[in-house]
Amino acid sequence: MIDFHCHLDLYPDPQAVVREADKAGIYVLSVTTTPKAWRGTSALAKGCARIRTALGLHPQLAHQRHQELALFEGLLPETHYVGEIGLDGAPGFREHATTQRRVFEAVLAMSAKQGGKVLSIHSRRTADEVLDSLRRQPDAGIPILHWFSGTKAQLLKAIDQGCWFSVGQPMTRSASGRTLLKYMPQDRILTETDGPFTEHRGRPLQPGDTVAMTAALAEMWGTTEKMVSDRLLDNLRRLSGSLPKVAESSSHAA
């Protein structure tokens, strides 16, 4: 199983979630929302070979935490993974669009300077703007659009630009989400939960819950869950293989 976008540090009992994921052998990308959270969140995964921690500065917090960009730059050499970053155009956040864009483009430039990173990107109501920023920084790394909710035309544009996608159960609950899933390239998809922000029957999703998304993809692709699992693991291995052989000492896939 793979959970390529999960906020491990934000669960009520992060250590319990980490223990369960590690015991189950789940590959997890643990994203952070601020640079100051990175060290503590990384410590949660100490000794867990399949958990990686991404360095983030969430767009919803950019106007409050933009002064942490210098810290972000200082920490960046320590990880191959960046996230959660991006832009958010929802009410309550779009008035901070200028600051969000400045932070996002600064992070992309830093990542490019470091030789490129794996980028877990938030693009709610800002798909065109996110894609434009990525086009201006082609060396920033491999963009993975988390919980993509743009239009079909924006999706096709993202595919053309080489984007990957991390997908979760909420996308299967609407006609628009299922349409987007149908058009995403199978060789550029990874599963995610976005836990603890997503729930099922009142319970926050945890990394092990990606099994439900694997089953949903199997039904959508007309194949078996085993075939989907193998495809997802192959995708993860290819993604890992694209990383520069620097910074992290482990050669595990996630």
The model's pLDDT over 136-153, given as tens digits with 9 standing for 90+, comes to 999 999 999 999 999 999
Return the closest-CA partner of residue 207 out of 187, 219, 190.
190
pLDDT at 249 over 90: no
Tell whether pTM > 0.85.
Answer: yes
CB 172, CB 181: distance < 8 Å: yes
Q: Assign domain 2-241 one CATH number from 2.60.40.10, 3.40.50.12280, 3.30.1300.10, 3.20.20.140.
A: 3.20.20.140
pLDDT at 167 over 70: yes
Residues 6+ apart with CB under 8 A from 111: 76, 82, 117, 119, 137, 140, 141
Dihedral of CA 4/8/12/18: which sign? positive
Amino acid 244: pLDDT: 64
Confidence of residue 246 (pLDDT cuts 50, 70, 90): very low
Amino acid 111: pLDDT: 98
pLDDT at 253 over 80: no
Q: Distances from the Cα of 206 to the Cαs of 91, 107, 199, in angstroms?
A: 28, 28, 9
Q: Report the C-alpha gap between 7 and 145 in whole angstroms.
A: 16
Q: Report the C-alpha gap between 138 and 187 in whole angstroms.
A: 20
